[in-house]
Structure formats: C-alpha cells, structure tokens
Amino acid sequence: MANVVAIVGRPNVGKSTLFNRLVEKRKAIMDDESGVTRDRHYGYAEWIGKFFTVIDTGGYVTGSEDKFEAQIRTQVELALDEATVILFMVDSHAGLTDLDKDFAKVIRTSKKPVFLVANKADTTERIHMAMEFYELGMGEVFPISSATGTGTGELLDQVVKHLEDGDKITDEGIPKIAILGRPNVGKSSFLNALLGKERTIVTDEAGTTRDSINTHYKLYGKDFILTDTAGIRKKSRVKEDIEFYSVLRSIQALQDSDVCIFLIDAERGLEAQDMSIIGLAHKYNKGMMIMINKWDLIEKETNTAEKIKKELVAKLGTLNYLPIIFTSVLKKQRIFQAIEKANEIYENRIRKIPTSKLNEVLLPEIENYPPPAIKGKYIKIKYITQLPIHTPTFAFFCNLPQYIKAPYERFLENKIRKHFDFEGVPIRLFFRKK
Ligand code: GDP
Ligand code: GDP
C-alpha cells in the first residue's frame, strides 16, 4: 500500500494553494535547476516523519463547464479508487454550494478515509462559518487556511495516522522493480518478453480495477519482483483519465519499489510527465534507470545514440546519474541487459562503504578543493561516514556545517560518485557539527 493523499473539490476552493503549501517546502530539485515541470499536480510531502505524495486532482480537470458533471465523476472516482486518503475541500467563505453537494454524493461512496476540509477559514468568523459544512453529514469539519497555514497542522496530524511509516523494507533481499512510463511506451510488451509468454493484463469488463501486478521473476538464478503499471487504459474512457490514472498507478508502484525502470518512447523523448515522476522517485530515494524503447523505429546515423544520450543527460540536470539503455522490446534487443542493470542499481543502493575507505579517498579530495571560506571563516571537514540506513546517505562532520553551500555539496556528491559506484541511485549528504 502506498501513501497517496488526493485533494478533491470544485474549482477555486483552494486545492492548488494547499497543494503548494504541502509540497513547496521540498521543491523538486529539477524545478529549481532545469526549469521543467512547473505545472505538476503531484508532489512529495512530509509530516512528522511520514512521507507521502499529494495530488491536486483539480489539475486534471481540463474540460469546459458543461462537461463538468461527468468530470467530477471520472476524476473523483479515480482518486477514490487510487488514493490512500481523500481531502474533500470546500470554501468556507463561499459556503455550501450545489456543486459541493454533487462532489459529496460521489465521495460518500468511498470506503477510504475522507477529511472534509473547509478552506479559507482565515479568521475566527470564517472558522464559525465553516461549521455550516456539518450539514453534509460527512463527519468532522477541518477549518483551515491554505493561504496562512492555520489549521493545516491539526489536519495533517489526523491524515498521517492513515499513512504508512516510511522507509520500510519489503520482501527483504529481493529487488523490487517498478516498470514505469507513459501509456503505450511498451511496458506490457516488456513484461511479456521477459516472462516469455502472453499474460492477460486486465479483464475487459468495464470498470474493473486491478492493483499493480507483482510478478516474481527469475533470471540467471536471481529473484526479482516486477511491478507493472500497464493495462491502465483499459479502464479509462478519455485521454485525461488515462494520464491521471497512469500517474496515480506510477506513484504507488514507485513508492513500493527499490528500483524504477522508466520506459521512454524513443520517438517522443523525455516528456514533462516523465520528468515529474523521475523527480518524485528521486525524492523517495529510489534506484532509477531510463530505458529508451522502440529503438528499432529510429533511423540511425553514426552516433545517434550518443547524441540522444547527451540531450537526455542535459534535460535531467542534476539527475544525470541515471543509466540509459536503448532497447527494442519488439526485437528483444537488450531487454535482459535492462533487468541486469536494474539489479546492479539495487546492489548500488544497498552498498555500504567502510568509514576508513571513505575518509582515505575523500579527505584528500577535500584538501585539494576545500569549501570556500565564508565571512572570513574557514570550514574544516574532519571526517565522513555512511549512515546505516537503507539508501546511500553520508554524514560529513565539520566545524561550520551551516556554511556548506549547494555547489560544494554537489562537488562532494560527484566525488563520491566518481570513486564509488552509485550509478542510478540518489545520494543524500548531511553536514553535522563536530
Ligand atoms: P483550486 O481551483 O481549488 O485549485 O483553487 P486555488 O488554489 O487556485 O485558489 C483559488 C483562489 O482562492 C485563489 O485566488 C487563492 O488565492 C484563494 N485562496 C486559496 N486558499 C485560500 C485561503 O486559505 N484563504 C483565502 N482568503 N483565499 C485562499
Ligand atoms: P504499455 O501501454 O506501456 O503497456 O505499452 P504496450 O506494451 O501495450 O505497447 C504499446 C504498443 O507499442 C504495442 O503496439 C507494442 O507492440 C508496441 N511496442 C512495444 N515495444 C516496442 C518496440 O520496441 N518497438 C516497436 N516498434 N513497437 C513496440
């Protein structure tokens, strides 16, 4: 089970404002550095040690007003199926509207925990006004102000009770690999090719839901669990739904995995949605690789692969540590290498470097290129150790940890990557006073 919190509600109640408040603190690295995915509708959030993904479902409602009824149904139903917790947002300034009641009708059918959130309760008077929403008969009303943050702490305290603790290990020792990518990139074909048989992905019955399928798989005597998010389009009726649904499924699968294989259509290249999902996987410290599929469709000249790789690495910005593999699932080209690579990444992710080795290698690098002095103060890094947790995390002990800036952090990360193989895995660095 994954931790996904979906915000639903009619337009203008403040969904995206709350969304921004919840995820802004931990802005995606990519947002800052390569200028992509400005209008993402899902992001990573944390509250008292619980990690979760927030989805602003409003971001997916794109059609015109007259189609709105139908959109409430499809989008909200999808959110209800897929999310762990639902925040049903209303506007305490505007009061209860017919549209709110329509939403409530659909939402009431959910068996998931639903929190009725009365937004724009900026003042005491508005908080009183929010009590009107008890009329919906949906239990406790949480008056909040997304604009100022009032009440959001109380709300989150309750919400996270329904979420899982982060950083748990699943099926210890067996790599859990999620196959991710936009509809039609070749995910099911990839699985079928690996498994050597046609598998029925989803029943054709209208409205059938199925969870991401976990398949145990053996290759050269090694066990894997492959999670596939394919077959989504069967359930969905319109294009926006497919997008929305596939995003939700991807988020769940990635939260649950050790390594994510991102399939990309060679003809379409890396798209904004791919970048957001990759960014999310980075936040969750997942192992990652890119598989450029349908390589058979690309007309090749000398160095085509190198050129494409270069462009991709540029687009990835600081996430340029992801290995890239060119495949044709159709022609069965390099599909086993892809799985082997995923296994290497898994190994990289759990690798622990002995403290003595780390210091022996990194201290000379630091001596050669020490952190720049700030306000006349010299920063001295004394020693480094890898923390005994699941994903590669390093603590640097120094006299003035607050003076280490992002560029120097990046320098250190690059040195760690240069000397120790952490291909495909995010690395976290902490600076502590000593
Ligand atoms: P969405 O359509 O539900 O995503 O709503 P938005 O987040 O775009 O917000 C709609 C409007 O309500 C914007 O003008 C926001 O600035 C405003 N708004 C959002 N939250 C609050 C709040 O807590 N208090 C007040 N007074 N205005 C808010
Ligand atoms: P999914 O939606 O990601 O599961 O994609 P599918 O596995 O259903 O594949 C979508 C379409 O792309 C199907 O028609 C596949 O036959 C085709 N396809 C998958 N992999 C390749 C490939 O490597 N080359 C070519 N030319 N077509 C492929």
Q: Which CATH architecture has domain 4-162?
A: 3-Layer(aba) Sandwich (3.40)
Residue nearest ligand 2's atom 12 by CA? 186
Protein residue whose Cα sits closest to atom 10 of ligand 2: 184
105 CA to centre of ligand 1 in angstroms? 23
Four-residue CA torsion sign, 305, 310, 312, 313:
positive
- The pTM of this model reads 0.75
Q: Decide whether any atom of ligand 2 lies within 6 Å of the 294 Cβ.
A: yes
Say whether 355-433 and 4-162 share the same fold. Answer: no
**E-strand stretches of 184-229:** 213-219, 222-228
What is the distance in A from the centroid of ligand 2 to the CA of 190? 8
Give alpha helix (H) positions in 165-238: 187-195
The CATH code of the domain at 355-433 is 3.30.300.20
| Dist. CA 372–CA 376, nearest whole Å | 9
Q: From CA 342, how far away is CA 222, in angstroms rounded?
A: 12
| SS3 label, residue 210 | coil
Q: Any idea where the domains of the chain sit in the sequence?
A: 4-162, 176-350, 355-433
Binding-site residue set for GTP:
9-16, 56-60, 119-122, 181-188, 228-232, 293-296
pLDDT score for 428: 93
How far from 369 is each of 360, 379, 396, 418, CA to CA, in Å? 15, 12, 15, 15
Write down the pLDDT at residue 29: 35
Tens digits of pLDDT across the chain (434 residues): 578 899 999 888 999 889 888 886 444 333 433 333 334 577 888 888 888 888 888 766 544 555 566 666 676 777 787 789 999 999 999 999 988 998 898 888 888 999 999 999 999 999 999 999 999 999 999 999 999 999 999 999 999 999 987 655 455 678 889 999 888 898 888 888 887 654 444 333 333 334 456 677 777 677 777 776 654 444 455 555 666 777 777 888 888 889 999 999 999 999 888 888 898 899 889 999 999 999 999 998 888 889 999 999 999 888 889 999 999 999 999 998 999 999 999 999 999 999 999 999 999 999 999 999 988 899 999 999 999 888 899 999 999 999 999 999 999 999 999 999 899 999 999 999 88
62 lines ligand 1 (CB under 6 A): no
What is the dihedral sign for C-alpha 322, 324, 327, 332? negative
Classify domain 176-350 by CATH architecture. 3-Layer(aba) Sandwich (3.40)
Give the Cα separation of 270 and 315 in Å (integer): 8
CA distances from 386 to 88, 357, 361, 405 (A): 42, 11, 13, 20
Q: Quick check: helix, strand or coil at residue 117?
A: strand
Cα 17 to ligand 1 centre (Å): 6
Please give the Cα distance from 350 to 353 (Å, whole number): 10
Mutate to test the pocket of ligand 1, among 10, 13, 15, 17 (most ligand atoms within 8 A of CB): 17
Q: Residue 328: CB within 6 Å of ligand 2?
A: yes
**CB of 192 closer than 6 A to ligand 1?**
no
* pLDDT computed for residue 391 by the predictor: 87
Binding-site residue set: 9-16, 56-60, 119-122, 181-188, 228-232, 293-296
| Strand extents, DSSP E, 252-336 | 259-265, 287-293, 324-326
Q: Give the Cβ contact number of residue 162 at 10 Å.
A: 15
End-to-end CA distance of the chain: 40
Instruction: Write the ipTM.
Output: 0.76
Q: Which of 277, 223, 287, 217 is nearest to 252 (CA)?
A: 277
pLDDT given for residue 174 in this prediction: 82
SS3 2: coil
Candidates 225, 226, 229, 227; CA nearest to 172 is 225
